[in-house]
Amino acid sequence: MSRTAWILLLTLSLLWGGSYLSARVAAPVLPPFTLVFLRCALAAVALLVILKASGARLGWTRRQVIDYAGMGLLNNVIPFALIFYGTSQIGAGLASILNATTPIFTALVAHAFTSDEKLTANKTVGVILGFVGVAEMLGLGALADLGGHLEAELACLAAAVSYAVSTLWGRRFRGQPPMATAAGQLSLSSLIVLPLMLAAEAPWTLPMPPGDVAAAVLFLAFGATALAYILFFRILTLAGSNVMLVTFLVPVSAILLGVLVLGETLQLRHWVGMGLIMAGLVAIDGRLWRQVSRRFAGA
């Protein structure tokens, strides 16, 4: 990748790593559906303004609305709500590590429901390493605390599953302008979560959030969502599938930010589990394995 692509990739990892930090600040104060609505609605407005300024237009046919709604539900409403619930109880670093299992679940979902993305030997090894890593992080002792932090950790894992399923739904958008897809799914996400927020959380009864929570919400919407989408699609243009390397970097960014800003710490089993998950992601990605194989073949 070019130097520009690497700089953008590192910036994106900081934005998405910072999203867990912001969620850790905002989630204990704001209910999950309210937080999801604010993040999606504000980000949607920002992207729609950018689209308008660039002269692009969204399509609102019945089929497109259904596609946007499905993507918004799987890629935003469900995982955002689960992550916000999870980070209200566990650290930002641990939540980001658990969410880094998304490519592992994606490989399993793709194998089960597609004909062109079946598991290979290295993907199978990656999936096994990933799940061993998750088991190590959760720990057998966590089962004794069922109903406590284990629920929050499982919520973050369920968010990863939702993201994985969204990759299948995302096949519907092949050939469409990616920025329009982002704006469309965020717009429908806002409409989906709005009645849930009004019915379940009565946000008008909530006290005015303190300044740090308001700042966290603004970062989640404009930094970790609107700007992050812009960077993501720019990297996709510059470096293609290399953009998915951000998966390796987000947990590191989240952990460093959590330690520096919130004073969080991780237990040894969390570090061991993260190492196993990262090894699994390397195996699923396959590039390092191919480079090593070519080097030995050349020798």
Q: What is the DSSP string of the chain?
A: --HHHHHHHHHHHHHHHHHHHHHHHHTTTS-HHHHHHHHHHHHHHHHHHHHHHHT------HHHHHHHHHHHIIIIIHHHHHHHHHHTTS-HHHHHHHHTTHHHHHHHHHHHH-SSS---HHHHHHHHHHHHHHHHHH-GGGGGGTTTHHHHHHHHHHHHHHHHHHHHHGGGGTTS-HHHHHHHHHHHHHHHHHHHHHHHH-GGGSPPPPHHHHHHHHIIIIIIIIIHHHHHHHHHHHHGGGGGGHHHHHHHHHHHHIIIII-----HHHHHHHHHHHHHHHHHH-HHHHHHHHHHHH-
pLDDT at 41: 97
Q: Is the pLDDT of residue 292 over 90?
A: no
Per-residue pLDDT of 36-85, as tens digits, reads 999 999 999 999 999 999 888 888 899 999 999 999 999 999 999 999 99
Q: Is the pLDDT of residue 269 over 50?
A: yes
Q: Is the pLDDT of residue 146 over 70?
A: no
Q: Is the pLDDT of residue 90 over 90?
A: no
- Among 31-45, 164-178, 186-200, where is mean pLDDT lowest? 164-178
What pTM, to 2 d.p., does this model score? 0.85
| Mean pLDDT calculated for residue range 106-115 | 87
| Mean pLDDT calculated for residue range 126-148 | 69
pLDDT at 1: 66
pLDDT at 211: 95
Q: Is the pLDDT of residue 145 over 60?
A: no
| Mean pLDDT calculated for residue range 177-190 | 91
More confident residue, 85 or 294: 85
- Among 12-16, 92-96, 282-286, where is mean pLDDT lowest? 282-286
pLDDT at 68: 94
